[in-house]
Amino acid sequence: MPDNVIRVTDFDREVVGRSRTVPVVVDFWAEWCGPCRVLGPVLEKLAEGAGGRWVLATVNTEEHPEAAARWRIQSIPAVKLFIDGVVADEFTGALPEYAVRQWLEKAIPGPSAGEIATARGMIAAGDAPGAAEVLRSVVEREPGNTEARVLLGRAILLDDPPAALLSIAGIEEPSLSDEIETVTTVARLDGLRRNPGGLPPSPVREAYLAAIGKFLAQDYDGALTDFIGIIREERGYDDDGSRKACLAIFRLLGEEDEITLRHRRDFGSALYI
């Protein structure tokens, strides 16, 4: 068994006690449990890549029924996170790796959580360059930090769409899907602006290119007006590109922004003409 995985023999010492110095993720399992055999290797893989930020402890409920009873284990696999001697979070069932990773990221704040939160605040306040500087530092230290990479893509998106697309390459994280889609949409529109030859002929083609230009120049009000007009005239143009562009703008601005509020109703009505 890997060094960062503990096969529990003394729960109080190896889990409760140790959790006062490092978070301990406890996997309650049994030999006869098929889902346990699926989840166990996932947890071991993630523990191996955690760099000591947390450790994994496994408890065979057949060998330690008293521990299962003490911690009210009613079905397995069951996973509990111990921090400072108490259960801080938990889940049951054989979740897929991405879902376990997502749970861990939320339940065990990473060493760069504060910097990422600061960067989000800077982006919201309009300081994307400052946020990018913070996030580049995080990604340099933690190249596997998907949240930092996606947020960096968001921070540099309007200045350098190709670099933003590179920043999110290979990331498939459901919790970050909106931000990933926004980066992907804007990078694609930037590519069309640079090389519009791939756009099919249509009465809305020039208006669509003009709307893209306004979007990338951060004239969001004008871009939304144009994109919504194109939706009304030929919604399916460029694989529903105008709808996707509008959604990207709304995400960049936020739902409470006055420009978003001004155009949301027209956008909705255009979709259902």
CA distances from 272 to 145, 232, 267 (A): 40, 9, 9
User: 153-164 as b/e, with b when 16 or more CB fall inside 10 Å?
Assistant: bbbbbbeebeeb
Q: Are 108 and 52 in contact (CB under 8 A)?
A: no
Q: Are 103 and 95 in contact (CB under 8 A)?
A: yes
Angle, CA 189 vertex, CA 182 and CA 142 arms, to 5°: 45
Q: What is the DSSP string of 147-161?
A: HHHHHHHHHHTTT-H
H helix count then E strand count, the chain: 13, 5
* 246 is known as an active-site residue: no
272 φ, ψ (degrees, to nearest 5): -120, 30
Which residue among the candidates 24, 25, 26, 36 is catalytic per the annotation? 36
- Nearest-CA neighbor of 135 among 109, 161, 104, 168? 168
Cα-atom radius of gyration of the chain, to the nearest Å? 24
Which residue among the candidates 15, 25, 26, 33 is catalytic per the annotation? 33
Residues in the chain: 273
Residues labelled as active-site residues? 33, 36
